[in-house]
A and B are shown apart, each in its own frame.
Chain A
Amino acid sequence: MKIRDSKSTIIFKIVIYTLLTLGALICVFPFIVIISGSFTDNHTILTEGYGILPKNFTVAAYQTIFKAPQDILQAYMMTFYYTIQGTSVGLIMITMTAYVISRPEFKYRNNISFMIYFTSIFGGGIIPWYLMYSKVLGLKETTGGSMIAIWFPALMSPFLIILMRTFIKASVPDAISESAKIDGAGHMTIFFKIVLPVLGPGIATVGLFLALGYWNDWFRSSMFSTSSKTWELQFYLYDLLNATQALKQMAQNTSISTADLPTQSVKLAMAVVATGPVLLFYPFVQRYFVSGITIGAVKG
């Protein structure tokens, strides 16, 4: 037997569902415009503007892109590389750091935690940051170095370390690791055999944060890339737009050729090609995201 909803509940549900549907539509709308625009003839976009359904349907924009797809593919590859490299190395470093500062027997754990936390409030600013990587570490001198400079700076963040520490503290009671110690386990054994196996959701959360950060990053490419071969995907797209704008502006003062800049529809098609796969992938992993953060938060 089903319990029937009372009248007020039904009204409430109707209102909520309408609001949520509206909200969802507002979120989806820009994507629809982008996709429809990418299939619209460029001249139509310029004279009649964008529409929800493509007027004068054409795949010319996609043909233009896939005539020379190597640039996009290269950018895709590099982003995958940075994401995998950064996420895996970052995860190892973050969990290990978090484990160390979560151990009660570590005397200076609070001092070290404070220093990690401190950097999240007071930073040196962009100039020292840039000089550190480009000049002191000399990473901008070679192409290989500039690739390191793209993934290296984002390996660890205070927020993620503290999140992980809270998580470890909450899910591994001191008593367990203490009894393991009595049984003769060293720190390595405790970390790999006892702590890591229960860290699943924490690793998923932190890993997702890291991976998303790497996937969406364009700034470090902008700062450190010395060759367009090492560009991240987001930067490739961003620069495409910026170049068009900048060249148009420059053309006011000096004679430069602006004849073959990408057209509106090509830009939109680029956006579809670049974000499409992520859009499909995102809904499936997003739930880990939410559950992971809440687990860490409630018990911390």
Chain B
Amino acid sequence: MGKIKKLLSVILMLCMVLSLVACGSKGGEKDDDKNPSGNTGNQDDTDDGKDDPTDTPTEEPAIDTSEKVDLVFYVMGDAPVDEVLVEEEINKILLEKINATIDFQFSTWTDWAQKYNLELTSGQSDMIYVANWNSYGTLATAGAFLELDELLPTYAPNILATVDEGLLNMCKVDGTLYSIPGTWPEYTVNGIKYREDLRVKYDLPVPNSLENFEAYLLGIKEKDPNQGLLTVTTAESSGLVTAFDAANVFNLKYPWITNNAFPYGLAADYNTPADVYDYWYSEDFVEDMKLMKKWADLGFWSRSALSDPNNDESFKTGLCVAEVAGQNPNKHITAVTDFAKENPDWTSAYLAYGEVTGVLYPASAIQNATAIVRDSENPERALMALDLMFTDQTLNNLVQAGIEGTHYEIDANGYYKNLSENFKYEGFNTWNLRNNDYKLKQESDKLLSEMSAKYAEIGDKTKFPNVNIYSNFTENYDEYQVERAAVSDVMRQYLAPIQAGLVDDVEAEIAKFLEKAEAAGLTTCRDAFKEQWAAYCEEYGYK
């Protein structure tokens, strides 16, 4: 025993000594690095104030770029083949302007969420891609990113001048700025994608209301009984909002604040955001679910829809004639391109729900943004590099499209044309560096910009012009996580068949569903959500 104890203690000691050495050296490096490059401005100020008031360069803190710095930019996805080639070109410019080089590192799409967090933990990168779907808010609150408010004026003046203040505000978490968004406005508005050629051929109405949607599907069914109508599943309905994809069509009926309204069967209209009402308990809901049953009985979707796997190519291959969930203008454009390639006599059309209800706004700015990692050893230089890549037209085009002449050219119509498979459009996946002023237009952008213009017009007329008033709201469900999960289960089990119309007695099933949901803790979730939402509306002045 004594021997083992001795041995263990020796090993423990060794471990401690090792860890001390490791930590010590790291700390030392950081201090050394930070002083010359970073805090010189501040230190000068205080020193000067005390000792020597005669020469005071306090107005403009000098930016010291004498030391060459290698930066790492962590981005999502896979690397392009010509990564090194383009990086060399970028580095030529960066070395000349700010004496820094940049290396793009790619997450790949395998386990990206885990690797993204590991990357932040190890702190080896300087700049990092952030987005709302990448848990930006949570990470920022946890302190993963550097606060930028004070650094921006000094190190990224061009960004400050280019990026609209409203956009920057959207990137703030608890009042602090942690990221720089791209400035390309996107309207990722949900809607219905349908087959325009069939609609014209059979002389059917545009599906711009529930009645017309029914008439459209019914018309096709009558003329061509073998044609599949909808391939709706539960694939897009995993949250706490809907349980079956077809329920998305009710966005045609209600001017809800956000697609499918709030979780837990709550809802509020865009024009009266603070006025939250109960959708699941309303007469409307019963009526809507009866409609779903009618549609299911008419055979609009398969009887096994609840267990069918999602087939996201079904519209492309003609297995369905409309898609109602998870659609956006880009998917419509993809469909247009696909049809042109494979079935030239088919046409796709897109109707955004907002075109009917008048509730439309651009996507949140935090969809694509860049943050500086807190552990970055050269945050100032990273910010300067970001400033250049974002606001210098040559550099921005180089990063986004590669080398002109090698990877792309601008054709006679002024559109981007790819020349090489080795570096495609936005080959570095830097969607966060999309600068609206410099973005090279693609041919497909034409259709997109037409759609965006149409949406912007509608968006201008809303009560809060072109603002996604829901975007900054994050539900904090730490305290009722268990209830929330239980409600989600109940929805999957009881609400899904109701929304899929696969029940006999709609009213009885709804009553049963609500009873089960209440037992699972629905009321707790609702009350907490309402409270948080009310506080949010109060804070931002949405009434």
Q: A residues engaging B (CB < 8 A)?
A: 43, 46-47, 108, 111, 126-127, 130-131, 134-136, 140, 218, 222-223, 225-228, 235, 238-239, 242-243, 245-248, 250-259
Q: Is B79 close to A, CB under 8 A?
A: yes
Contact B367–A47 (Cβ < 8 Å): no
Nearest CB in chain B: distance from A253 CB, A = 6
The answer to whether B122 touches A248 (Cβ under 8 A) is: no
Q: Are A239 and B334 in contact (CB under 8 A)?
A: no
Pick the contact of A135: B79, B122, B368 (CB < 8 A).
B122
CB distance from B258 to the nearest CB of A (A): 14
For residue A245, which residues in chain B have a CB less than 8 angstroms away from its CB? Answer: 109
- Point out the residues of chain B lying under 8 angstroms from A247, CB to CB: 77, 109
Interface residues of B (CB under 8 A from A): 3-4, 7, 22, 77-79, 83, 105, 108-112, 114-115, 118, 121-122, 124, 133, 186, 188, 311-313, 316-319, 326, 328-331, 334, 337-338, 342, 363, 367-368, 424-426, 431, 448
A-B contact pairs, 9 of them (CB 8 A): A47-B318, A108-B7, A127-B118, A130-B118, A222-B108, A246-B109, A253-B188, A255-B330, A258-B334
Looking at the complex, which one of B78, B337, B426 makes contact with A239 (CB distance below 8 Å)?
B78
Number of A-B contacts (CB under 8 A): 97
Nearest chain A residue, comparing its CB with the CB of B111:
A222
CA distance A43 to B318 in the complex (A): 11
**Top 8 A-B residue pairs of the complex, sorted by shortest distance between their CB atoms:** A246-B109, A242-B109, A243-B109, A255-B330, A46-B317, A242-B110, A222-B110, A239-B110
From A111, A126, A259, B4 is in contact (CB under 8 Å) with: A111
A272 to chain B, nearest CB (A): 21
Q: Which residue of A lies closest to B187 (CB)?
A: A255
A223 to B114, CA, bound (A): 9
Closest chain B residue, CB of each to CB of A219: B111
Contact A46 B78 (CB under 8 A): no
User: Which of B338, B367, B425 is in CB contact (< 8 Å) with A253?
Assistant: B367
**Residues on B with beta carbons closer than 8 Å to the beta carbon of A108:** 3, 7
- Assess whether B7 is in contact with A227, with CB atoms less than 8 Å apart: no
Q: How far is the CA of A245 from the CA of B108 in the complex (A)?
A: 12
Asked whether B108 lies within 8 Å of A259 as measured between CB atoms, the reply is no
Q: How far is the CB of B136 from chain A (nearest CB, A)?
A: 13
A257 and B424 in contact (CB under 8 A), knowing A46-B313, A127-B118, A127-B121?
Answer: yes
Taking CB atoms, residues of chain A closer than 8 Å to B367 are: 253-254
Q: Are the CB atoms of B431 and A136 closer together than 8 Å?
A: no
Partner of B108, one of A130, A243, A251: A243
Q: Which of B108, B317, B328 contacts A47 (CB 8 A)?
A: B317
B312 touches A238 (CB 8 A): no
> In the complex, what residues of B have CB within 8 A of residue A257's CB?
424-426
| Residue in chain A with minimal CB distance to B78 | A243
Q: Which of B78, B133, B318 contacts A228 (CB 8 A)?
A: B78
Let me know if A242 and B108 touch, CB within 8 A.
yes
Q: How far is the CA of A239 from the CA of B76 in the complex (A)?
A: 13
Separation in Å of the A42 CB from the closest CB of chain B? 10
Residue of B nearest to A258 (CB): B334
Contact present for B431 and A254 (CB under 8 Å): yes
In the assembled complex, which residues on chain A have CB atoms less than 8 Å from the CB atom of B110? 218, 222, 235, 238-239, 242
* Cβ of A217 to closest chain B Cβ, rounded Å: 13
User: In the complex, which residues of chain B have a beta carbon less than 8 angstroms from the beta carbon of A131?
Assistant: 121-122
Complex: A38 Cα to B447 Cα, angstroms:
35
CA–CA, A259 to B4, complex, Å?
Answer: 64
Pick from A247, A250, A253 the residue with the most CB of B within 10 Å. Answer: A253
Q: How far is the CA of A222 from the CA of B106 in the complex (A)?
A: 10
Given contacts A140-B124, A223-B115, A259-B337, contact A253 B78 (CB under 8 A): no
Contact B424 A228 (CB under 8 A): no
Q: Beyond A46-B317, A246-B77, A257-B424, is A239–B109 a contact (Cβ under 8 Å)? A: yes
**Cross-chain contact A256 with B426 (CB below 8 angstroms):** yes
For residue B78, which residues in chain A have a CB less than 8 angstroms away from its CB? 228, 239, 243
State how many angstroms separate the Cβ of B266 from the closest Cβ of chain A: 23
A252 and B328 form a contact (CB under 8 A): yes
**10 extra A-B contacts, CB within 8 A, seeds A46-B316, A108-B3, A253-B188:** A126-B114, A218-B110, A222-B111, A243-B77, A252-B188, A252-B328, A253-B133, A253-B328, A257-B426, A258-B334
Of the candidates A46, A126, A130, A252, the one whose C-beta lies within 8 Å of that of B326 is A252
In the complex formed, the residue of A with least CB distance to B26 is A135
Interface centre among B79, B109, B363 (most CB of A within 10 A): B109
Q: When chains A and B are docked, how far (Å) is the Cα of A154 from the Cα of B424? A: 36
Q: Is the CB of A222 within 8 A of B425?
A: no
Say yes or no: A248-B312 contact (C-beta < 8 A), given A131-B121, A253-B363. Answer: yes
Inside 8 A of B115's CB, which chain A residues have their CB? 222-223
Q: Which residues of B contact A250 (CB under 8 A)?
A: 133
Interfacial chain A residues near B331, Cβ < 8 Å? 251-252
B311 to chain A, nearest CB (A): 8
Q: Inside 8 A of B105's CB, which chain A residues have their CB?
A: 226
CB atoms of A227 and B330 under 8 A apart: no
In whole angstroms, what is the CA distance A59 to B7 when docked?
A: 65
- How far apart are the CA atoms of A251 and B78 in the complex, in Å? 16
Contacts of A235 in B (CB 8 A): 110
Across the interface, name the chain A residue whose C-beta is closest to B11: A115
Asked if A227 and B77 make an inter-chain contact with CB atoms under 8 angstroms apart, the answer reads no
> Nearest residue in A to B108 (C-beta to C-beta)?
A239
Q: How far is the CB of B304 from chain A (nearest CB, A)?
A: 15
Task: Verify A246–B112 contact, CB threshold 8 A.
Answer: yes
Q: Tell whether, in the assembled complex, residue B124 and residue A227 are in contact, meaning their CB atoms are under 8 Å apart.
A: no
CB-based nearest A residue for B333: A255
How far, in whole Å, are A259 and B227 apart by their CA atoms in the complex?
26
| B311 CB contacts on chain A under 8 angstroms | 46
Give bound CA distance, A223 to B122, whole Å: 12
In the complex, which residues of chain A have a beta carbon less than 8 angstroms from the beta carbon of B425?
Answer: 257
Q: Which residue of A lies closest to B342 (CB)?
A: A43
Residue of B with least CB distance to A245: B109
Q: What is the bound-complex CA distance between A107 and B368, given in angstroms?
A: 61
- Nearest A residue (CB) for B84: A227
What chain B residues lie within 8 Å of A222 (beta carbons)? 108, 110-111, 115
Assess the B22–A136 pair: CB atoms within 8 A.
yes
Instruction: Given A245-B109, A252-B326, A255-B448, decide whether A111 and B7 contact each other with a Cβ distance below 8 A.
Output: yes
Q: Contact check: which of A130, A228, A259 meets B122 at CB < 8 Å?
A: A130
Given contacts A245-B109, A246-B112, contact A134 B337 (CB under 8 A): no
Could you tell me if A251 and B334 are in contact, using CB atoms closer than 8 angstroms? yes
| Interfacial chain A residues near B133, Cβ < 8 Å | 250, 253
**What is the bound-complex CA distance between A239 and B382, given in angstroms?**
29
Q: A108–B448 Cα gap in the complex (Å)?
A: 73
Cβ-closest chain B residue relative to A141 = B124
User: CB-nearest residue of chain B relative to A47?
Assistant: B317
Residues of A within 8 A of B112 (CB): 246
- What is the CB-to-nearest-CB distance from A175 to chain B, in angstroms, rounded to a whole number? 28
- The docked-state distance in angstroms from the alpha carbon of A245 to that of B77 is 11
Q: For B109, what are the chain A residues with a Cβ–Cβ distance below 8 Å?
A: 239, 242-243, 245-247
Chain A positions within 8 Å of B326 at CB level: 252
Bound together, the chains give a CA A250 to CA B3 distance in angstroms of 59
Nearest A residue to B364 by beta-carbon distance?
Answer: A253
> Residue on A with the closest CB to B190?
A252
Residues of B within 8 A of A140 (CB): 124
A1–chain B nearest beta-carbon distance, Å: 60
A135 lies within 8 A of B124 (CB) = yes
Q: How far is the CB of B70 from chain A (nearest CB, A)?
A: 10
Contact A254 B186 (CB under 8 A): yes
Which residues of A have CB within 8 Å of B188? 252-255
Q: Which residues does chain A contribute within 8 Å of B318, judged by CB atoms?
A: 47
For B186, B313, B329, the residue with the greatest tally of chain A CB atoms inside 10 Å of its CB is: B313
